[in-house]
DNA sequence: CATGTCACTACGTTTTTTGTAGCAAAACTA
DNA sequence: TAGTTTTGCTACAAAAAACGTAGTGACATG
């Protein structure tokens, strides 16, 4: 799966509309989960693997590369961490957390 | 791929934390794209297929079923449409649209 | 120098998604 | 009302993505 780059054809848009590139990136398995987790602080590869519970190292490594190449995360001395932009993105999706709790009531 | 149900094990959480169930659902190919598109109004199966440009009917049908079973979309006389909850969800992710435009500048 | 930890890579298997074709039902059209 | 479109799918084979296990090289620890 190649990196979705705004301005180039991506899943959902031949012209590469930024939102579609972003949704392509985030719509891959574990991508949002990784961002979600990293907001609580930098994490090592192994800890991310533990956190994700069932992600394969292959997939984790791929997602990390993609997120790095998309300027959302970076490697620091403490492990993988959100960039400033990554934090911005997290803050945009953060409201999903409390909304999800309400949404969950449907399933009872 | 089975429907991620809050309270049951889902990708990223053995206990089925609502946010993880939601991220599992939305982290499947085309899921957010479908929600994004439907906010502009109800759409038929064929129109969604056109809009998504490269989704297979098999996958579109699966995603629609999942979103229906998750109370985010429903069938109306005008085709598939967001439920009230689906609209709420859209409004939460809407800010991604304008943020994506800024994010896109990284790639130049 | 032996042992452990860490960040991966290799690789074969399973699961998901694609792409093309086609079909039955409903809606238009002559 | 018979024929044509349109619609909402399903079937199925092929391609791609993700998994799971094993293992490797780099670095730290004792």
DSSP run (H or E) holding A74: strand A73-76
Calculate helix-pair angle for A45-52, A57-69, nearest 10 degrees.
120
Nearest chain A CA: its distance from B93 CA (Å): 7
Residue B14 has a pLDDT of: 93
Read off the pLDDT band of A59 (50, 70, 90). very high
The share of chain A scoring above pLDDT 90, in percent, equals: 97
**Nearest CA-CA partner of A31 in A1, A60, A71, A2:** A60
Chain segment A79-101, per-residue pLDDT in tens: 999 999 999 999 999 999 999 99
Say whether residue A68 is in contact with chain B using an 8 A CB cutoff: no
The domain A30-94 having CATH identifier 3.50.50.60: the answer here is no
Chain segment A16-44, per-residue pLDDT in tens: 999 999 999 999 999 999 999 999 999 99
The per-residue pLDDT of chain A, averaged, comes to 97
Residue A52's contacts (CB-CB under 8 Å, 6 or more residues apart) are: A30, A33, A34, A37, A60, B12
B18-97 fold? Arc Repressor Mutant, subunit A (1.10.10)
The C1' atom of D10 and the CA atom of A78 lie apart, in whole Å, by 51
Are the C-beta atoms of residues A86 and A38 closer than 8 Å to each other? yes
CB contacts, 8 Å: B25 with chain A: none
Instruction: Give the nearest partner residue to A88 out of B27, B97, B99, using CB atoms.
Output: B99
Asked if B93's CB is within 8 angstroms of A99's CB, the reply is no
A91: left (phi over 0), alpha (psi -120 to 50) or beta: alpha
Q: How far apart are CA A29 and CA B29, in angstroms?
A: 9
Residues pairing with B13 in the sheet: B10
Q: Which of residues 4-33 of B touch strand D (CB under 7 A)?
A: 11
Domain ranges of chain A: 30-94
Weakly modelled stretches of chain B, pLDDT under 50: none
The share of chain A scoring above pLDDT 70, in percent, equals: 100
Say whether residue B68 is in contact with chain A using an 8 A CB cutoff: no
Residue B45 has a pLDDT of: 98
């Amino acid at each position: 799966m190649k990196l979705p780059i705004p301005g180039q054809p991506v899943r959902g848009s031949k012209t590469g509309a930024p939102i579609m590139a972003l949704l392509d990136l985030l719509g891959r398995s574990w991508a949002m989960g990784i961002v979600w987790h990293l907001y609580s602080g930098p994490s090592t590869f192994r800890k991310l693997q533990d956190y994700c519970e069932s992600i394969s190292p292959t997939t984790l490594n791929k997602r990390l590369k993609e997120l790095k190449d998309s300027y959302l995360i970076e490697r620091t001395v403490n492990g993988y961490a959100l960039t400033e932009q990554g934090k911005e993105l997290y803050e945009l999706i953060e409201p999903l957390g409390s909304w999800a709790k309400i949404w969950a009531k449907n399933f009872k």
